[in-house]
Amino acid sequence: MATCNLTLPVCSAVSGVIATASAGSVSSARLTNSSFSHSQFFGKSCLSTASTSRPLPAVSRRAATECKINKGDKLPSTTLKDQDGKQVNLSKFMGKPLVLYFYPADETPGCTKQACAFRDSYDKFTKAGANVIGVSADSPESHKAFKQKYRLQFTLLSDENNKLRKDWGVPGDLFGTLPGRQTYVFDKNGVCQLIFNNQFQPEKHVGETLNVLKSI
């Protein structure tokens, strides 16, 4: 099994500004337009310029200022290709809790750490009766190689041109040029119970989602 012993920088200099890592934050029904900025160093979005082995997919420079999917909203019916090139509609996951996480790109340090963290805790998600889905703009072929290399048990969906990311209002970092790392938890009725955003500590997404699954 490919190991995931990767590290992330805790600070980076961007345009003369030092951005330090911050703890993740959980959104609530009280989200406002001020919840996100084009690039927040603390709070919802964290700045990261971690070096990677491959370029990250570009996102719109016009960063989202408000979540289009909020706590209490229903899971939209959306169809994307999985790692095998098959069309998958999110509605097929209704009836069980769903953990859907957006990540920047396959084979980047933070995203590999996050995927392996979900893999290593997958039994806990299974016991909670939940499905796990990872979403990025990578191609189905890239997802398939990533899934096989790290023996991921869960589905990876290809969000071509970041359409779903934009539709859901997932905020970007680095002034909108770095795709954000954001996780959603939906209950068995398809109602959103958690929105968690943390770029610098990808493994925290696992603990936060498991805590919510215990309560629903």
Active-site positions read: 111
Question: Residues 197, 200, 205, 211: is their CA dihedral positive or negative?
Answer: negative
Tell me which residue of 36, 34, 35, 41 sits closest to 14, measured CA to CA: 41
* Cβ atoms of 59 and 177 closer than 8 Å: yes
* Cβ atoms of 132 and 122 closer than 8 Å: yes
What the block records as the tokens of 4 is: 């995931």
Q: How far is CA 60 from the centre of its chain?
A: 17
